[in-house]
């Protein structure tokens, strides 16, 4: 009989992008175990295109110091290697994104006209929202869209496993804006391209940012059924 407390459904419903973490550490053995299990995620042709870097401890402290300076120097980032969003983001996708931003900043009490406040908050991405672990997912540049979808399945599998373990996460494609700085730090092989970062740890349940529960479209807005 399935333990509902640890079911896939419960992990899905409780997973969210956590943007404030406690200082409670995450053991290296735990993240190694969860990554090994996540590697069972589907992968076309069994290519397993994900290449993962995990940073914690003193190395994470060093990276955060580098990023504080780098964000001050280049607040708009570096030339990205891929577009996180289409240049022309049309409705309803544009509306979903806009609503998420408005909901988040409402929880934080940062009005739209406070551009400096919003930029300062966004910069917290590069401090991992105080999480004790950072993860970066790379892919071989020679891979194509099907393999990028494999990355998504791997990362989703990991995030659900983290929830089963009582941990939280925040996937952060915004790290693509500083891929050169990160490459100087991590020194990945040249054939690897950064896809995303991820903060991992235990949610600070008292933080205003973590009151946000992002909205989702109703079933009839994205699903069509025939013959059933």
Distances in Å between the Cα of 70 and the Cα atoms of 74, 75, 193 are 6, 8, 20
Whether 4 shows a pLDDT value over 60: the answer reads: no
Interval 125-139 mean pLDDT: 98
Interval 136-151 mean pLDDT: 97
Six token digits for residue 23: 């200082």
pTM to 2 decimal places: 0.94
pLDDT digits (tens, 9 = 90+) for 63-99: 999 999 999 999 999 999 999 999 999 999 999 999 9
pLDDT digits (tens, 9 = 90+) for 170-208: 999 999 999 999 999 999 999 999 999 999 999 999 999
Instruction: Write the secondary structure of 166-214 as one string of H (helix), E (strand) and C (coil).
Output: CCEEEEEHHHHHHHHHHHHHHCCCCCEEEEEEEEEECECCCCHHHHCCC
Interval 102-115 mean pLDDT: 95
- Please, what is the end-to-end C-alpha distance for the chain in angstroms? 29
- Name the DSSP letter for residue 85: S
pLDDT at residue number 93? 96
Share of residues in the chain with pLDDT > 70 (%)? 97
Asked whether 77 and 175 are in contact (CB, 8 A), the reply is: no
> Residues near 47 by Cβ (< 8 Å), separated by ≥ 6?
143, 147, 150
Interval 32-49 mean pLDDT: 98
Distances in Å between the Cα of 94 and the Cα atoms of 99, 109, 118 are 9, 22, 19
pLDDT at residue number 1? 37
pLDDT at residue number 3? 54
pLDDT interval class at 151 (50, 70, 90):
very high
pLDDT at residue number 6? 66
pLDDT at residue number 2? 44
pLDDT at residue number 54? 98
């Amino acid at each position: 009989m399935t333990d509902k407390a640890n079911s896939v459904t419960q992990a899905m419903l409780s997973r969210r992008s956590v943007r404030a973490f406690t200082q409670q550490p995450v053991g290296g053995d735990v993240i190694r175990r969860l990554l090994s299990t996540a590697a069972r995620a589907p992968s076309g042709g069994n290519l397993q295109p994900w290449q993962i870097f995990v940073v914690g401890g003193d190395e994470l402290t060093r990276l955060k110091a580098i990023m504080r300076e780098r964000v001050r120097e280049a607040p708009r980032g570096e030339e990205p290697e891929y577009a996180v969003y289409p240049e022309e983001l049309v409705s309803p996708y544009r509306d979903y994104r806009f609503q998420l931003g408005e909901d988040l900043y409402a929880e934080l009490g940062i009005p739209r006209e406070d551009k400096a406040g919003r930029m300062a908050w966004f910069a917290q991405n590069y401090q991992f929202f105080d999480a004790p672990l950072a993860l970066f997912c790379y892919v071989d540049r020679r891979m194509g869209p099907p393999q990028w979808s494999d990355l998504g399945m791997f990362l989703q599998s990991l995030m659900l496993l983290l929830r089963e373990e009582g941990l939280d996460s925040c996937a952060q494609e915004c790290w693509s804006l500083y891929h050169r700085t990160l490459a100087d730090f991590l020194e990945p092989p040249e054939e690897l391209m950064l896809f995303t970062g991820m903060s991992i740890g235990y949610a600070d349940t008292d933080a205003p940012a973590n009151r946000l529960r992002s909205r989702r479209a109703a079933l009839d807005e994205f699903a069509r059924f025939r013959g059933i």
